[in-house]
Chain A
Amino acid sequence: MGERVRVKMAEYRVCNSGGVLVTTVGSCVAIGLVDPESGVGGLAHIMLPEAKGKSDGAGKYADTAIPAMLREMEARKARKERIIAKIAGGARMFNFNSNRADSVGDRNVEAVKRILRKYGIRIAGEDVGENHGRTVEFYTSDGKMVVKRANKVIKEL
């Protein structure tokens, strides 16, 4: 098994040596992309849906992290038509504003799905929403995503 690499909030990592990329999300979303045939995979930990012209780090926003990660994967011989996505996170941990129907978690998930669709990337698995945090392990060799909760519930995507 490859090396374990921690992906921090607002970061993304791409790997072609069979590494396991790990992160923890609450309302943020972990986006795993993989081309299983070439063994190139990446994991992003996005905080917000859109950069809206800001350039404070591609990994922070869904609409900048996804294209940046795709470019880096393609530079390492991944083929876009083979790339699939798995996503986890976007929880509503607290009620910031009880009279507003949508939370930042919901908006993050919605944006991630819309942007993946725009680039023609299929979502092969997801564990999103609800009100709990998730620790995510993404196996870049085959695209397996293991999602763990504080109460020890484990899901494999």
Chain B
Amino acid sequence: MKIDLHKLAKMNEMAKEGANRVAENLSAMLGMDVQMKVTKIDFVTLSDIPEEIGDSEIIGAYLMFYGSPSGHLMIMFPVTSAKKIANLLLAGIGENGDGGQFSELDMSAIAEIGNIITSSFIDGWANVLKTEIDISTPQVIHDIGSAVVDPVIVELAKEHDHAFVFNSSIIAQDKDITCQIYVFPDMNKLVEVLEKV
């Protein structure tokens, strides 16, 4: 596979455009300043990713996207950040789980945030690539970080041992909320669509 420098610049543009839209839409939704702290594109050995994520407990939202390109997207909140996000969104309605526990309502609030982040990010891409991309409904999970990403890595590893990953981290400074976003576009489709731009 060959990717020229011009295409890498285009990928950078995708990452920035995606990240900006996520920050904008989250800021509006949560009513606070949300920033994308890091946005980078890595070419990684897939089996290294679980080690990088580690074994702490996280709340993860997983979505697939379909179109040009298609791929997988995983959002991971540390437990305390997920709790704060759920509290902000639910502000007084319904039952919140206590402490480290998450109620069904908490989880659906996280799913909603997952939706906003994914659709914003993918909108940014579609805009740069002048293409249409659809997203699946989110699946939310509370488990060990490296185990959460494992099935996604396995799915990708059926075809390749390496992948491009768009890795972003979000931070809402006043509330001390952070999250990591991993986007794995299907490599063949990504190259194909970049050829056309």
Contacts and interface: CB of A to CB of B under 8 A. Distances in A.
Interface string B74-112: 000000000000000000000000000000000000000
B62 interface: yes
A135 B57 CA distance: 12
Interface string A129-151: 00011110000000000000110
Contacts of A48: 154, 157-158
Contacts of B151: 26-27, 93-94, 96, 104-105
- A contacts with B: majority SS: loop
B167 interface: no
Contacts of B154: 27-28, 47-48, 104
B153 interface: yes
Interface string B148-188: 11110111011001000000000000000000000000000
Contacts, number: 83
A135 B144 contact: yes
A10 B153 CA distance: 11
A91 B48 CA distance: 20
A93 B155 contact: no
A26 B47 contact: no
B144 A133 contact: yes
Contacts of A95: 139
B41 interface: no
Given A8-B47, A47-B157, A150-B57, A133 B150 contact: yes
Contacts of A25: 147, 150
For chain B, give the interface size range. 20 to 34
A104 B157 CA distance: 12
B148 A133 contact: yes
Nearest to A105: B151
Interface in B41-84: 46-48, 50-51, 55, 57, 62, 64
Contacts of B135: none
Interface residues of A, number: 28
A144 to B, nearest CB: 20
B144 A150 contact: yes
A24 interface: yes
Contacts of B158: 48
Nearest to A24: B146
What 7 pairs between A and B have smallest CB-CB spacing?
A: A133-B147, A26-B150, A26-B147, A133-B144, A9-B47, A10-B47, A27-B151
Interface of B: 46-48, 50-51, 55, 57, 62, 64, 139, 141-144, 146-151, 153-155, 157-158, 161
Interface of A: 6, 8-11, 24-28, 47-48, 56-57, 60, 91, 93-96, 104-105, 132-135, 149-150
20 contacts: A10-B47, A24-B146, A24-B150, A26-B144, A26-B148, A26-B150, A27-B154, A28-B150, A28-B154, A47-B157, A48-B154, A56-B161, A57-B161, A60-B47, A104-B155, A132-B147, A133-B146, A134-B144, A134-B147, A150-B147
